[in-house]
Amino acid sequence: MKKTSTRLSDGRELIYYDQDDSRERDAPDPRPADQVATASEVRRDPLLGDFVAIASHRQGRTHLPPADACPLCPARPGGHQGEVPDSDYDVVVFENRFPSLSGPTGRCEVVCFTSDHDTSFAGLDEDSARLVLEAWRDRTADLSRLDSVRQVYCFENRGVEIGVTLGHPHGQIYGYPEITPRTRLMLQSLAGHRATTGGNLFDDLVARERADGDRIVLETEHWTAFVPYAAHWPYEIHLYPRRRVPDLVALDEAARAEFPGVYLELLRRFDRIFGEGRPPTPYISGWHQAPFGEPRPGEPDVAREEFALHLELFTVRRTEGKLKFLAGSESGMSVFINDVPPEAAARRLREVASS
C-alpha cells in the first residue's frame, strides 16, 4: 500500500491509498479556495450524561446529486470537479466538508471505497476490500494521536432508507472527543462482568455463541460472525476476530488477510436476504474500537486490552417493502422491539450463503 497525503484548495487534508506502490499523485485541486464556515459544538445532556453535537452548517450539505455531479467521483476533463482532484483512485480519504465534529470537538473524514460510482462495497474484489481495511487501520492510528480525539469509529451508511445523501460507495470515520454513550455502556458491562465472574465479557459472549451455534452465521479460522442473542435490529450481525484485540491497528496479518473474504460474503448475503433481484439491502456497518488513553474520573475502570474490537452490521429493513422505524418505545425510551427472532435471522443468513 502506498499512502500519499495532500491538501485541497481550502486546506483540508486528502489522502490517497494505492495498491500500486509506484503510483504518483500530484494533481492540484483547481477549485477556488472557499471554505465552508463550520460551527460544530458539543453539548452535554445533564439528565442522561451523554453529549450531543450541534452542527447547523450541515443543513447546506449536498443532497443526492445526479451521478454527473457526484462530489466523490474522480475529476473528469471538462466535467464536474468534486472533492478528488485526480482522474482515478483506489481508496481516498479526506476531511469532511460538512463535519459534525471539528477542531477541538473531534474530526470527521470521508472514505471513498472505489472510484466506480455504480458499484458498492459488496462489489469490490478482495484486494480492494483489503485496501479499505488498511486505510481504516491507518486512519485509526493517525487520529489516535490527535489531542481532540478520544475514540475512532469507522462506519458505512448505505441506502436512502438510512439517510444517505450521496450514492457513491463511501463511508465515514468519526474521531469523537469523548467516549461515546454506547461504548461507555459496554465498558460498564465489561467492568461489572469482571467483578462478578473474573472473566472477560466479550470472550465469554463469543464463546457462548459458538457453543450454542444456533445464531452463528459464519465461522472461519480467524473470524466469528453471529446474530446476537438480544439483537435490536431485524437482521443484525456481529463479527469478532478469534483473537481479542482492542482496535483495528492491533489486528494481526492472518486476520487481516482473511477479513476481505469474510466481510464481502456477509455483505452479499445481506443483499440476498429478501430474495434475488430485490433492491439492495440498506444497512449500517461500523467498527467498535476501544477508546484511547487511561480511564478518566467517572469512567469505568477498564484497560484498553480488555475491550474487544468487533464490527456491527445491521439493516432497518424488516421484510420486503417494510422498514423498522424507531417509534415511541425505541426513540423515546431506548427499548427496542424486534419483529424477527434472532435465531430465524441467523437461519436465513445461513440459507443465502454463496454457493
Q: Give kind and range of the element (H or E) at residue 207.
A: helix 201-212
| Annotated catalytic residue 170 | yes
Whole-angstrom distance, CA of residue 93 vs CA of residue 110? 6
Which residues line the annotated binding site? 70, 73, 117, 168
Cell numbers found for residue 310: 468487533
Whole-angstrom distance, CA of residue 275 vs CA of residue 265? 16
Contact (CB, 8 A) for 135 and 193: no
Whole-angstrom distance, CA of residue 174 vs CA of residue 43? 17
Which among 313, 339, 345, 343 has a CA at the least distance from the CA of 326? 339
Contact (CB, 8 A) for 233 and 313: no
Whole-angstrom distance, CA of residue 188 vs CA of residue 8? 41
**CB contact set of 186 (below 8 Å; sequence gap of 6+):** 288, 307
For 44-58, the DSSP string reads: E-TTT--EEEE-GGG
In the set 57, 63, 170, 238, the catalytic residue is 170
Question: How far apart, in Å, do the first and last CA atoms of the chain sit?
Answer: 31
Beta bridge partners of 57: none
Q: Output the CA–CA distances (angstroms, integers) from residue 53 to 106, 146, 299, in the order listed.
A: 10, 19, 20
The total of other beta-carbon atoms located within 10 Å of residue 198's CB is 7
Angle at CA of residue 341, ends 337 and 343, nearest 5° = 145
Which residues line the annotated binding site for Zn(2+)? 70, 73, 117, 168
Catalytically active residues, by annotation:
170
